[in-house]
Each structure stands twice: as C-alpha cells, then as structure tokens.
Structure 1
Amino acid sequence: MKPIYFLCTFILLSLFMHLTVEWIVPFCETTSSYWYLSNERKINSDAKVLVLGDSQIVTGVTPQLIAEIEGVTINEVVYLPKPSQQPEGILLESLEVLSKIPKLKKVYVNLSPLNTSKNSVTDANRQLFLSFGSFSLYTITHPLLRKAYFSNLTDLSWKLIIKIFPYFGLSSNINRLVYDPIAQIDVSRRKKEFLYIKESMEKNQGSWVWKFIGDDPNLDEKEEFPHRSSQVLSGKRELSIHLWFEFIRLWKERGVKVVFLRIPFSPKMEKDILATKANLVADEFFQTIKAEVGPKRSVEVLDFKSEFLEDYQYFGDLTHLNQKGRDAFAVILKKALFDHTHSTAQGM
C-alpha cells in the first residue's frame, strides 16, 4: 500500500501546486511575474510580423508601432519578447512558432552587449526558463539549445521537478520574502506590477513601460553609474554568437527578413559601454551580417545606441526607456524604417 499512498500524495501535492501557483506569483519580482503571465499569449496563424527580444523591446517597441510601420493590422503582429531574454530563448521561440505562422514575412529583434556576453542576465535567463519556460522538445533535440539549457542531467531533472511541482520554480522569490527586508517592503508594488503586466498581456500582448504602475518612471540624472562596471559586457559568449547565426539561418531559409535593433541604454551606461569597448562584440556581429548586399538582403541592422546620449528624461532606469522615451524612439524608428522601406539605403 505504501507505493500507492506515496503516489497519491505526490499527485495531490502536484495538483494543489498547479491550482494555487497563480496566488503566489504576484509576490514574485517583476521579471518572474512577466514570464509567468507571458504563457497566456496567443499566436495568430495569419500573422505577418514577429517581434522577439528582451525587456528593451517590451518597454521600447509596441505592437501598434510595428503594425503602423509594416502597414498591417495589430492582429497580424505576434509580440513575444520577455525580460532577460537571451539568444537561446529567441531561437527557441522562433522554432516553436515556425509552423504556426506560415504567412510570416518579417522578424524584429534587439541585440546588445547584454545578449552577446556572459553576464548575470545570462544566468537569470536560464533560471527563468527552468521556472517558467516551455518544456519544448527542441531544448533536447537542438544541439545549441541543449547546450544552453540542459548541459547535464541535473538541469534536465530540475526542469522536470519544477514542471511537476511548480512551487519549486518560485523558491528563490519566496525565500527572499522571508529573509530580505527590501523584498518585504516591495510586496505592495510587486502585486500592483503583476496587475499592470496582466493587463498589458490582455490588451497589448505584453508591451509595457518597465515598472509603470500609473506614473511614468524617471531616471535621476544624478544617479551614478559605477565607473567601468560595463566591463563585464565586453567579453564574447561564443554560444550566444552561434545561437544568433542559427537564428538568422533559420529565418533566411524560409525567406523571412530579420531586422536587428540596437535600442539605447541610458546616457551614463552608454558612455561607460563606449569606454570599456563593450560594444565591440555586437558591432562585429552587425558588420558581419551587414556584409550581404542588395535590395533583397535578408537582414537589416538599425543601430540607435547614440541617439539619447544626453536625454536622461527618456529613461525610467539605467536600461529601459520610459513613456516619453518610447514616444521619442517611435518617431526615430518610424523614420528609419520608412527610409529603409522606400530606399536601398544601408542600415544605420
């Protein structure tokens, strides 16, 4: 009887966790809430444009803007960026939607030193995938994705455990609420952010000005950016570069055009990145993919890293545009993309 007793206990425990996990998620930090809620997104099979990337896209580029630029309806834009997203996640999303949107013509995605180097965001992305990401067969069968996510059996086992007992995926968030006074004070804001993110998923496919809960966030110009702290972004993560090239190959084979955006960080961060030469890896990648010439080239690069070097009012924090910045960036992006549409000019 004992095996049956334990099996019933595990089944009931798993069922309880799956039924109640949504009550716990609002207490999690912003990125975790976003990843959890992003699983509710729907894919329109008639879509013609796909948008992928990280929180810079989430806060800086709306599906409405892309629809206007491309001359399509909002329903023909599939918007799938996630905060802390890395090229492995972008490639995985691409593979998963490949057969679902046969009419696709163009993909927008952002690339920066944050997703070409090994840094804390890389580690955060992996944990977010284990906690909230889809358990796709591609993560096992595709060699690059397997290397990124399941380099050993322990990682695979942990993903299986979280799928069965989802509370384990929230453990780091819940543990901080127990011992971290800052996290405890932040609970009220987290719950508000959860509601705003949920609303953004329902109305705007997840497009949301980062940390917006009613008032446009503003970066204080006096806030210091630690000198040369962007040095960590200057190194090349070879796996990231391989993943980016695989991403391009995947869409190129299907005749889908890829538009890479380099969305600006805050002025002090951009200036520090320039000082530490943290842009070199991304710039080298851009130069390589821009080598293809001709009016029907499969990749475009639009580099805006130098646009807002003095405009602190356009940022909500060090890495994200606020609503004013989003509006200003929309004007610049529309002009650049309309120019590309009606001319044979090279990317910026």
Structure 2
Amino acid sequence: MKTRYFISTLIFLSLFMHLTIEWIIPFCETTSAYWYLAKERHYSEKTKVLVFGDSQIVSGVSPSLVAELEGVSLEEVLYLPKPSEQPEGILNESLELIPNLPNLKKIYVNLSPLNTSKNSITDAHKQLFLAFGNFNGNTILHPLLRRAYFSNLTDISWKVIVEIFPYFGISSNINRYVYDKSTQMDLSQRKEEFLSIKQSMEKEKGSWVWKSIGNDPTLNESEEFPNLNTAILAGRRELSMSIWSECLQVWEKQNLDVVFLRIPFSPKMEKDILQTKADVVGEEFLKTVLVGPHRSKVVVLDFKSVFLNEYQYFADLTHLNQKGRDALSSILKKKLFDYTHSSSEGM
C-alpha cells in the first residue's frame, strides 16, 4: 500500500511539473528561457540551408539575411542557433536532423574562442542540455557526445530525473527567487525578455538582438569590464576540436557546403583576444580545414577585425546590436558576392 501511494505521488508530481513549468519559465534567466522556447522550432523537409551557432549568431545573423544571401525562401532556412551553444550541441543536432533533410545544401555556423576552449560557457552548455536538451540515442551511443554530456553515471541519472521532474532542470533559477534580492527585483525584466524571445521565435525563428526589449542597446566606449580576461579562451579543448572535426565529416558525407563565420566581439574584447592570442586555436583549425580534403566545400569569413573602433555596433561585450547587425549584413553580402564572383571566374 505504501509503495503504491509513493508511486502515485511521484506520478502526480511529474504531471504537475510538466503542466505548470511553462508558468515558471518566463521568470528564468534569459538563456534558460531561450532554450526552453527553442524546443518549439521544427524542421521542414524543404530546408536547403541550416544555421547553427550561439548567441552571436542569434544577435548578429538573421534567417531572412541567410535566405537573401542564398536566394531561397525563408521557409527553406532552418535556423537553430542557441545561446551557449557548443560543438557537441551542433553535432548532436546534425546527426539527428540532417538524415531527414533531403534538400539540404549548405550550413552556416560560427566558430570562436568560446567554442574551441574550456570555459564557463562549456559548463553552461552542459547544464542547459541537461535541463532542456534533446535526449536521444546519439547522446549516449556516439562516443564524443557521450564524453561531452554523460561522462559519468551521475550525469545520465540527472538527465533522466529532469526528464521526469522538469522543475529540477530550473532549480538554480527557482533557488534564486528565494535568496537573491537582485533576481527578485529583476522578475519583470525577465518576463519582458521572455515575451520578446517568444515573439522572435514566432516571427524570426529565434533571431533576436540580445537583451533587446523594444530598443537597441548600445555599448558605451567608456564602460569598464574589470573581469575581462580572455586568457582562458586561449586554451585548447581537445574534445571540442575532435567534435568540430567530426561535424565536418558528417557534413562532408552529405556533400554539404559549409560557411564558417567569425562574428566580431566588441572592440575591447577583440583587443584583449589579440593580446592573449585566444583566436589561435580556431585559426589553426580553420587553416587545417582549408588545406585538407574539405577545402572545396568550406568557406571561412572572418570578421573579427571589422568593428575594432565601432562601439556603437554592440549591445554588450560579446553581442552586436541592431545597428551592428545591419552593418555586418552589408559586409557579409559583399564578401559572399565577391567570393562567388571570384570562384566563378576561376572555373
């Protein structure tokens, strides 16, 4: 009798959490809200262009721009970037989706020190995956994905618990409601951001100027960032590089063209990256790609130096604002036009 009562209680709690979590998500921090809403994005077999990446893509490159660049309809662009995305997330979605996209021709993806090194974003991505990510066979059976997500029994146990009791996936957010006064004061702002992201999912497939709520946030040149130190980004995360190589192999098997983007950070961050040589790992990887067997299918467009003095183009340390997005769009159109034109002449 006690066992039956216990099981019934667990089932009730699970149902209650699944039915009510959408009431709590609007008050979670921005990245959690985005990941939750991103689960509503669906693929179409008409897809010809697939876009992967992190919040730099979300803020800097819209699906409508990609559609214009490639001469396809907006419906034919599958836009899947997420904040704190890492190569393991891109590989996971590639393995799951690409076999179901018979018309797919090209992939756009951004590569930066944030997804080639071991840093706080790497850890954040794993926690976001455990809370909101798609739990499928690839994440367990593929050796690289298993290393990234389920390196021990605790990880997989936690993922199972979150799937059954989703409140555990947002426990850190819930805890902050109780003890963090700054979070309590920020709840209305979070609700507005949630609604803005939701609207972007419905109208722009998730493209959203980061932290923008009906305005265009602009970075002040005089603003100081006392914790700015990109030295940690100079390190090489071997698992990331192995996964990037695996991604290329998956894309090559499907005969897909790939456009690697290096979207600019704010001037202060780019200058710090230059000093710490945090870009070296990614640059070495791309050089290897461009002289290797993949070279005929890969284009690298590096924009890290285009806005070194343009503070007005940034919303914060790492994200372009609307002015910056518009400026990058113009540069990207010209770059791809010049590349296509020169390639045609050489044929």
Matching residue of 2:99: 99
Matching residue of 1:152: 152
**Structure 1: any 5+ residue segments left out of the alignment?**
none
- Kept in 2, the 8 Å contact 1:227–1:272? The answer is no
Q: Which runs of 4+ in 1 moved over 4 A?
A: none
Q: Tell me the distance in 2 between the aligned counterparts of 1:4 and 1:293.
A: 60
Q: Tell me the distance in 2 between the aligned counterparts of 1:227 and 1:29.
A: 21
Determine if the alignment matches structure 1 residue 117 to structure 2 residue 117: yes
Post-superposition Cα deviations, 1:226-265, rounded to whole Å, max 9, x if no partner, equal 4761001000000000000000010011100111000000
- Kept in 1, the 8 Å contact 2:228–2:269? The answer is no
- Kept in 2, the 8 Å contact 1:192–1:213? The answer is yes
Amino acid at match of 1:316: A
Report the Cα offset of residue 323 of structure 1: 0.3
Report the Cα offset of residue 42 of structure 1: 1.3
Q: Tell me the distance in 2 between the aligned counterparts of 1:122 and 1:276.
A: 19
Matching residue of 2:163: 163
Residues 340 and 175 (structure 1), Cα distance of their counterparts in 2 relative to 1, 3 Å cut: same
Residues 225 and 124 (structure 1), Cα distance of their counterparts in 2 relative to 1, 3 Å cut: same
Report the Cα offset of residue 284 of structure 1: 0.6
Determine if the alignment matches structure 1 residue 333 to structure 2 residue 332: yes
Q: Tell me the distance in 1 between the aligned counterparts of 2:66 and 2:139.
A: 29
Determine if the alignment matches structure 1 residue 298 to structure 2 residue 297: yes
Determine if the alignment matches structure 1 residue 284 to structure 2 residue 284: yes
Report the Cα offset of residue 45 of structure 1: 0.7
Q: Tell me the distance in 1 between the aligned counterparts of 2:342 and 2:301.
A: 14
Matching residue of 1:323: 322
- Kept in 2, the 8 Å contact 1:225–1:269? The answer is no
SS of the equivalent of 1:317 reads: coil
Q: Tell me the distance in 2 between the aligned counterparts of 1:86 and 1:293.
A: 24
Report the Cα offset of residue 214 of structure 1: 0.7
SS of the equivalent of 1:98 reads: helix
Q: Tell me the distance in 2 between the aligned counterparts of 1:59 and 1:70.
A: 19
Q: Tell me the distance in 1 between the aligned counterparts of 2:13 and 2:225.
A: 46
SS of the equivalent of 1:40 reads: coil
Q: Tell me the distance in 2 between the aligned counterparts of 1:248 and 1:256.
A: 9
Report the Cα offset of residue 69 of structure 1: 0.4
Q: Tell me the distance in 2 between the aligned counterparts of 1:335 and 1:211.
A: 28
Q: Tell me the distance in 1 between the aligned counterparts of 2:66 and 2:216.
A: 22
Report the Cα offset of residue 5 of structure 1: 1.1
What is the Cα-based RMSD across aligned positions, in Å? 1.3
Amino acid at match of 1:180: D
SS of the equivalent of 1:342 reads: helix
Q: Tell me the distance in 2 between the aligned counterparts of 1:257 and 1:150.
A: 31
Matching residue of 1:42: 42
Matching residue of 1:128: 128
Which one has the bigger helix percentage?
Answer: 2
Matching residue of 1:222: 222
Matching residue of 2:7: 7
Report the Cα offset of residue 116 of structure 1: 0.3
- Kindly report which structure 2 residues correspond to 1:24-39, keeping only aligned pairs within 5 A, or say none: 24-39=24-39
Matching residue of 2:240: 240
Q: Tell me the distance in 2 between the aligned counterparts of 1:228 and 1:128.
A: 24
**Structure 2: any 5+ residue segments left out of the alignment?**
none
- Kept in 1, the 8 Å contact 2:193–2:211? The answer is yes
Matching residue of 2:262: 262
What percentage of residue pairs aligned between the two structures are identical? 66
- Kept in 2, the 8 Å contact 1:228–1:275? The answer is no
Post-superposition Cα deviations, 1:323-345, rounded to whole Å, max 9, x if no partner, equal 00000000001111112222229
Q: Tell me the distance in 2 between the aligned counterparts of 1:300 and 1:234.
A: 23
- Kept in 2, the 8 Å contact 1:313–1:325? The answer is yes
Q: Tell me the distance in 1 between the aligned counterparts of 2:42 and 2:293.
A: 35
Amino acid at match of 1:326: R
Report the Cα offset of residue 32 of structure 1: 0.2
Matching residue of 1:201: 201
Decide which moves more: 26-35 or 178-187.
178-187
Q: Tell me the distance in 2 between the aligned counterparts of 1:33 and 1:341.
A: 38
Matching residue of 1:252: 252
Amino acid at match of 1:309: L
Post-superposition Cα deviations, 1:159-179, rounded to whole Å, max 9, x if no partner, equal 000000000001001111211
TM-score (norm 2): 0.97
Decide which moves more: 173-182 or 229-238.
173-182
Q: Tell me the distance in 1 between the aligned counterparts of 2:91 and 2:297.
A: 17
Decide which moves more: 115-124 or 170-179.
170-179
Q: Tell me the distance in 2 between the aligned counterparts of 1:211 and 1:240.
A: 28
Report the Cα offset of residue 293 of structure 1: 8.0
TM-score (norm 1): 0.97
Matching residue of 1:186: 186
The count of residues paired between Structure 1 and Structure 2 equals: 344
Report the Cα offset of residue 292 of structure 1: 4.0
- Kept in 1, the 8 Å contact 2:118–2:233? The answer is yes
